[in-house]
Amino acid sequence: MSEAASKERFHYAVGRRKSSIARVRLYPGEGKITVNGKPSKEYFGGRELHQLTMLAPMQATGTTGQFDVVVSVVGGGTSGQAGAVRHGISRALIRFDEELRDPLKKGQFLTRDSREKERKKVGLKRARKAPQYTKR
């Protein structure tokens, strides 16, 4: 099979966290992770925590080094984006092999973390902080 034909076969999934959305594609490969066209270490500024967050589902399933991961991520900050990538990789691994669902579920990688910033309310300074009360 040619290089171009093997690159066409991939497993696709979408991951979300906070206001970040990550579109993840897993290609058969040797473990390169590309985020928005850059290597993941360069994109996340070398933050080790974000690297560990992204790779956790692959380590839990023992698929580290089997796939090249290509990610397109938008919205939110770096922490939310890393969480979205983790969610996307987990969902793409299930599309690759349904038997990986159990270890991913035990590690809570399939749960969508739906916590988002609460909107500011009228008459308050922030979502819940009221102006300071003055007695006199």
Q: In this model, does residue 2 exceed pLDDT 70?
A: no
> E strands, the chain, where?
11-17, 20-28, 33-35, 38-39, 67-74
From the CB of residue 79, how many other CB atoms can be counted at a distance below 10 Å? 16
In this prediction, residue 23 has a pLDDT band, given cuts at 50, 70 and 90, of very high
Q: In this model, does residue 1 exceed pLDDT 50?
A: no
Alpha carbon 99 to its chain centroid, in Å, reads 21
The mean per-residue pLDDT over the stretch 102-116 comes to 93
The mean per-residue pLDDT over the stretch 49-61 comes to 93
The mean per-residue pLDDT over the stretch 104-116 comes to 93
In this prediction, residue 8 has a pLDDT band, given cuts at 50, 70 and 90, of low
- Are the beta carbons of 83 and 8 closer than 8 angstroms? no
What fold, for 3-106?
Ribosomal Protein S5; domain 2 (3.30.230)
Give the start-to-end residue ranges of the domains of the chain. Answer: 3-106
Q: What percent of the chain shows pLDDT beyond 70?
A: 94
